[in-house]
Amino acid sequence: MRRLAVALLVLTLATAAPAEPLRIAVISDLNGSYGSTEYGPEVSSALDRIIALRPDLVISTGDMVAGQRRNPKLTTAELAAMWAAFHATVSDPLARSGLPLLVTPGNHDASAYPGFEAERTAFAAAWADRAPALVSLDSGGWPFRGAWTAHDVLLVGIDATRSGPLADDDMAWLRGILQSQAGRYRTVILFGHLPLMPISRGREGDVLADPALFDLAQTAGVDLWLSGHHHAFYSGSAGDILFVAQAALGNGPRKLMGETDVSAQSFTWIEVDDNGRITVAAYPFPGHDTKLDADTLPPMLGTGAFRLTRALSHPD
């Protein structure tokens, strides 16, 4: 009887144990000019800082290399050289430090527009044997899309490299994953390259802008949506979702819509606590060791259905 009581006590304690916090570093838009195999000091500085902070995982929201040159097209050798340079600069240092790297394609990595099929092939080859050391729920589409879990958090990557709604197959896949898996996890994070709504000046049209996708994410309980491409940091809420747009670590930092200052080259730091509360911070260059002052961000961004209200946290 005593053994049974002890066993029940152990089971109760194990069941009541809180979920582990999850810490994520997010990098984006690291590339230089077309065909470049070199990365600026901002990238190396960010990597050094991220490795020192030792997050549970790193997410890249795309544009890791400098593809999508229309004329002349990049050769197979040039594409391979770019990916070798990225791995040497980013992937390999993270791997040596034991930090899993989740990626999603950017338009300069693997554009889904016609004419860039060779780049999508090169992207697939570059990541074929570099799947992250995370629990996979559906990685058959790696590295273009997939679903993983860490510390009771669902992580879903989508192939978002061109404006407008996702491809029908990708939308159907995403609906299936969210409807079957999202309710099982305390926090759901969605990540892809193009944002749902405009973030920066000059890129207002480079967005997904799909109400059906927004409705799906809200209905399924997505808590956090990470994007790149607009080269400007902003963290804000729309509906029940916290949207975080990443700054560029490479060339071409941009201004937020309605703003006059260029967004600093930064990486983003995400924490999901044991109750599922999400907090967000950006760490700009130089040094990447001081948080961006949230008061420098506009209180509102955008208009209409996709208008964002500044927020750097999301309740559970």
Per-residue pLDDT tens over the stretch 5-61: 444 444 443 444 567 899 999 999 999 999 999 999 999 999 999 999 999 999 999
Per-residue pLDDT tens over the stretch 113-160: 999 999 999 999 999 999 999 999 999 999 999 999 999 999 999 999
Per-residue model confidence (pLDDT) at position 316: 66
CA 179 to each of CA 81, 117, 125, 217: distance values in angstroms, whole numbers, following the listed order: 40, 31, 30, 10
- Residue 275 CA to residue 16 CA, distance in Å, equals 12
Query: How large is the angle between the packed helices 168-181 and 211-220, nearest 10 degrees?
Result: 20
SS3 205: coil
Per-residue pLDDT tens over the stretch 226-239: 999 999 999 999 99
Residue 304: burial class (beta carbons within 10 Å; 0-12, 13-18, 19+): exposed
In the chain, the amino acid numbered 118 is: A
CA 30 to each of CA 13, 34, 106, 275: distance values in angstroms, whole numbers, following the listed order: 45, 12, 11, 33
Q: Is the dihedral of CA 256, 46, 109, 157 positive or negative?
A: negative
Q: Which of 25, 95, 33 is nearest to 63 (CA)?
A: 33
Residue 205 φ then ψ, to 5°: -90, -10
Are 100 and 133 within 8 A, CB to CB?
yes
Domains in the chain, please, with CATH? Answer: 22-314 (3.60.21.10)
Per-residue model confidence (pLDDT) at position 10: 43
Are 260 and 250 within 8 A, CB to CB?
no
- Residue 12 CA to residue 252 CA, distance in Å, equals 54
